[in-house]
Amino acid sequence: MQVSETVTPTANLRAASTKKPPRPRLLAMRLAGGLVVVALISGMSAAAPAMAATPPTVTTGVTSLVSGDSAVISATVNPNGLTTTYAFQYGATTNYGLQTSTKSAGSGTNIMTVQATLSRLAASTMYHFRIVATSPGGTVAGTDATFTTAKMPPAATTGQPSAVKDTSATVNAAINPNGKATTYAFQYGPSTNYGLQTPSTAVGAGTANTTVGGTLSGLLAGTAYHYRVVATSSDGTVVGADVTFLTTGHRVDSTGPLPAVSDAAAVAISASGAQLNGAINPVGTDTTWYFDIGLTTDYGLQTTPQKMSGLGARPINVRLTGLQSGSTYHYRLVAYNATRLDVGPDLTFNTKPAVRTHPVGLVINSSSKRGPTRLNIAVSGRLELPAAITTAARCSGTVEIEVRRGNDTIGLRRVTLRPDCSYSLHILIPTIRLHGYAQLGVFGFYAGNAVLLPSGASRALIL
């Protein structure tokens, strides 16, 4: 057998010699007759295995500058060398629902601190938040963190009066409820002790200034009056500045009798109520009386006005209910007739601390349904009360449900008790967080209220 050989021209060899030749490989073939041909095969190489990209590293941080409607939240991000973006998720539950705008964290390899300002939040509310970062290496979320916004009482600005007449005037104000149901009233009188007050009126729960007004009647002609607006919500009571006006007409100096107020005292004090006693001498004239009451000397509340007439001191009393336990209340007795106003001194009493009772227990029922990407856990139950406590009066407060994988919390939600003491909720957990666990722990915690002490329970959930 003849074997041929191909010779490469010298010019081509020179050109080829300027390049680094690839590492050759040997190829051997056995032909008929036992001849072995060996050839050099070049330009062949094996591809290097691809390395997995590293996702960013994140840590949810802390909050600062928390007010009634805003907060600054922070976190740390390490892009681990890949182009990374981040955003904050936040909301009233661990379902979040709100998210800040997405921003770049660069592509460095160092830990960097990032932050965002949250606005238009609800006052006196607990918020959840976490950091979420994304790069070609994947998306990661930080642990859940919480903060609670501050209380935000309404804003109240006393305005100038209008339509001032001999015996009446229209007074004005601006109220901003700051998101909470708010009522307002005008306090007025011949001095900064005021003594008279218009009925409380609802102004809603908006977040903008609302112009309000009231009509003051039964005034004396040619007399200077002081007035101010008082606004109250669950976040507190505020008073506007004092404003004065002078009624029209000629002042009539009255020689009528002054209704005398005396002997004011608080008795039969409990955790939520008290009885206010006193005495009034109307000296024959038609006299109106009531008590101012509140947690400060601004009062803000008054009992229903009542009328009396006749000669000699008459005992009066009124029963208060719905008071806060363990609190100091200010009160004073006020009486007036057609010509004069009499305001008693400021007095105080302390309500008793509430005596709280242990519930019988917290019942937890749970079931789960696994989907392709997440586990839906349904939790329901009720708070069992002692027989001496009526359901209608005492079923209030929140229940916190925590789902644990071993000692790790993988789900957390809060729910408010219904009037019949029952509750129900759903917790969605990504299946990737189960890590092959066949059993989870479901833990419930009732926070308690003014009458009931906290209570807890737990149960196992077989997947």
pLDDT tens per residue across span 415-429: 999 988 999 999 999
**Strand ranges across the sheet with 408-416:** 408-416, 398-405, 439-446, 455-462
Alpha helices in 142-230 (DSSP H): none
On whether the CB atoms of residues 210 and 176 are closer than 8 A, the answer is: yes
On whether the CB atoms of residues 434 and 405 are closer than 8 A, the answer is: yes
pLDDT of residue 393: 53
With 0-12 / 13-18 / 19 or more C-beta atoms within 10 angstroms meaning exposed / middle / buried, residue 210 is middle
pLDDT of residue 35: 45
Domains of the chain and any CATH numbers: 10-41 (no CATH), 155-246 (2.60.40.10), 260-350 (2.60.40.10), 361-462 (2.60.40.150)
pLDDT of residue 10: 38
Q: Whose CA is closest to 375, among 431, 424, 413, 443?
A: 431
With 0-12 / 13-18 / 19 or more C-beta atoms within 10 angstroms meaning exposed / middle / buried, residue 182 is buried
On whether the CB atoms of residues 259 and 340 are closer than 8 A, the answer is: yes
Low-confidence ranges of the chain (pLDDT < 50): 1-19, 26-27, 31-33, 35-48, 254
pLDDT of residue 248: 82
Give the number of C-alpha atoms closer than 13 A to the C-alpha of residue 195, restricted to the C-beta side: 22
pLDDT of residue 31: 45
